[in-house]
């Protein structure tokens, strides 16, 4: 990757959207992440002799797991992101809707907006961020929660204690999703 590409890459150089470093299965997402981490002077690790965007300490806080938050929608814990030159954990809440979901598209969005509002100040206070992407896919909206690794290090020792902290403290909420049938019931 040339320097122009790393300088101009919209999601790694300070733009308004996070760049996925790892996916829900904790795998590296893009081959240019290594160049961006070098550009920003951020440490990385290795996996089986190859580049991995997280250090061994950071890696302990992600997993192919789900935290029980957001009224049953849950937060996927394998994601991490680069945003404005900093690395973050990125638990991601997929707000499913439609025929196979328990809520309508509109109700899922209204719930996501209320949840984003509740989380925003909490995350801002720790140096985090929250994004809500409408219609991420045909059947869901996506909430990306960016949490600084230093916050995780100070509040948990591993994935299990991190999951508990998310469920009981940082992402705990009393908000309930409005459940409506997606079709009218028969008389």
30-67 per-position pLDDT tens digit: 888 898 899 899 999 999 899 999 999 999 999 999 99
The per-residue pLDDT for 100 is 64
Strand intervals (E) in the chain: 19-22, 45-47, 50-52, 66-67, 75-76, 80-83, 86-89, 92-96, 129-137, 140-148
13-22, 134-143, 146-155, 167-176: least confident range: 13-22
Report CA-CA distances (Å) from 44 to 52, 91, 117, 119.
6, 20, 32, 28
Q: Average of pLDDT values for 96-100?
A: 78
pLDDT band at 126 (very low <50, low <70, confident <90, very high): very high
Domain ranges across the chain: 3-170
| Mean pLDDT for all residues in the chain | 87
């Amino acid at each position: 990757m040339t320097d122009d590409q790393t300088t101009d890459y919209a999601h790694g150089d300070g733009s308004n959207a996070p760049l996925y470093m790892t996916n829900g299965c904790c795998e590296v997402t893009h081959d240019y992440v290594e160049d961006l981490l070098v550009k920003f002077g951020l440490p990385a690790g290795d996996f089986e002799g190859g580049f991995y965007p997280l250090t061994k300490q950071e890696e302990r806080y992600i997993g192919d797991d789900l935290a029980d938050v957001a009224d049953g929608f849950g937060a996927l814990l394998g994601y991490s992101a680069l945003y404005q030159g900093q690395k973050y954990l990125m638990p991601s809440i997929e707000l499913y809707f439609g025929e196979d979901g328990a809520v309508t598209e509109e109700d899922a969005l209204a719930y996501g907006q209320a949840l984003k509002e509740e989380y925003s100040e909490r995350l801002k206070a720790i140096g985090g961020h929250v994004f809500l992407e409408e219609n991420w896919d045909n059947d869901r909206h996506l909430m990306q929660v960016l949490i600084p690794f230093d916050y995780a290090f100070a509040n948990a020792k591993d994935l299990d204690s991190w999951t508990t902290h998310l469920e009981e403290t940082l992402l705990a909420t009393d908000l309930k999703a409005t459940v409506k049938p997606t079709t009218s019931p028969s008389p």
